[in-house]
């Protein structure tokens, strides 16, 4: 998926992701940020659902990297409704590999973004993130070993009433290997059962194993620390 396929699907994001990873991250992330008093870099802040969690947990500055215009627009809208949070969130309108903060942060948080990086991009990602961390800083991201997807027909994955309309997301795996899956999603709006708008996006998702991540992150100077199932945390000396 190109970065800005997210713009086309942004209207559906908050509706759908409340049924996805976000409630779990709301529970699991705050304890992992315990003791953080300095800045936090958030990679792929999206519409700000996780930015809000970080903001409710730490008192310092947040640097929110988000390359998609549509996702960023919702993030800014969320911040404009929360003036106290807006004071300390700086929104950076580019991708993770271009991150270059003025001063190092104490933590990097990256939720549901890793799958978008191809294996050949990941070493640069880890090096870039390591450079943004102060000594002793931590890197937190979500990861789970998942079974290889099975290609098949589209299935409705979420359906939400918005006034008189239904916002519906259907998805299917197009092809899958242990390393990479290509999926197709249809984002459509229905009125009285009739589709009045539809956007189809195809996305490539990469699924590194824990061994691969351990090798890459160790090469970038990180060491693993305990984390609850679904999240990984790494310290930078």
- Binding residues (CB under 6 A) for ligand SAM: these are 3, 6, 17, 22, 43-46, 49-50, 65-68, 71, 95-96, 111-113, 116
- Residue closer to ligand SAM, measured from CB, 3 or 172: 3
Phi, psi values for residue 212, rounded to 5°: -65, -45
Question: What is the closest distance, in whole angstroms, from the C-beta atom of residue 90 to ligand SAM in the complex?
Answer: 15
Q: How far apart are CA 29 and CA 17, in angstroms?
A: 16
The residue sitting closest to ligand SAM, measured at its beta carbon, is: 46
- Residue closer to ligand SAM, measured from CB, 99 or 173: 99
Question: What is the closest distance, in whole angstroms, from the C-beta atom of residue 193 to ligand SAM in the complex?
Answer: 29
- Residue closer to ligand SAM, measured from CB, 62 or 96: 96
Residue matched to tokens 């996006």:
201
Q: How far apart are CA 159 and CA 112, in angstroms?
A: 21
Cβ atoms 37, 152 nearer than 8 A: no
Q: How far apart are CA 195 and CA 188, in angstroms?
A: 7
Phi, psi values for residue 186, rounded to 5°: -115, 125
Residue matched to tokens 């990941």:
122
Question: What is the closest distance, in whole angstroms, from the C-beta atom of residue 78 to ligand SAM in the complex?
Answer: 11
Can you read off the two tokens belonging to residue 75? Answer: 């993030």
Question: What is the closest distance, in whole angstroms, from the C-beta atom of residue 99 to ligand SAM in the complex?
Answer: 8
- Residue closer to ligand SAM, measured from CB, 89 or 111: 111
- Residue closer to ligand SAM, measured from CB, 115 or 190: 115
Give me the sign of the Cα torsion angle 103, 107, 109, 114: positive
Question: What is the closest distance, in whole angstroms, from the C-beta atom of residue 179 to ligand SAM in the complex?
Answer: 18
């Amino acid at each position: 998926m190109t970065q800005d396929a997210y713009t086309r699907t942004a209207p559906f994001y908050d509706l759908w992701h409340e049924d996805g990873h976000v409630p779990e991250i709301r529970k699991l992330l705050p304890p992992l940020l315990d003791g953080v008093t300095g800045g936090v870099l958030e990679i792929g802040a999206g519409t700000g659902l996780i930015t809000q969690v970080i903001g409710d947990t730490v008192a310092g500055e947040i640097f929110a990297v988000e390359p998609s215009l549509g996702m960023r627009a919702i993030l800014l809208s969320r911040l404009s409704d929360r003036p106290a949070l807006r004071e300390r969130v700086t929104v950076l309108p580019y991708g993770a590999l271009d991150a270059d903060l003025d001063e190092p942060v104490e933590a990097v948080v990256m939720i549901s973004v890793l799958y978008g990086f191809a294996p050949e991009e990941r070493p640069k990602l880890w090096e870039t993130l390591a450079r943004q961390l102060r000594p002793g800083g931590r890197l937190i991201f979500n990861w789970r070993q998942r079974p290889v997807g099975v290609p098949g027909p589209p299935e409705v994955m979420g359906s939400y009433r918005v006034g008189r309309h239904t916002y519906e997301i259907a998805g299917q795996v197009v092809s899958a290997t242990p390393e990479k899956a290509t999926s197709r999603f249809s984002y459509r709006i229905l009125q009285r059962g009739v589709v009045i708008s539809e956007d189809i996006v195809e996305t490539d998702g990469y699924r590194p194993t824990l061994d691969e991540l351990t090798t890459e992150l160790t090469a970038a100077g990180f060491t693993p620390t305990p984390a609850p199932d679904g999240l990984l945390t790494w310290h930078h000396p």
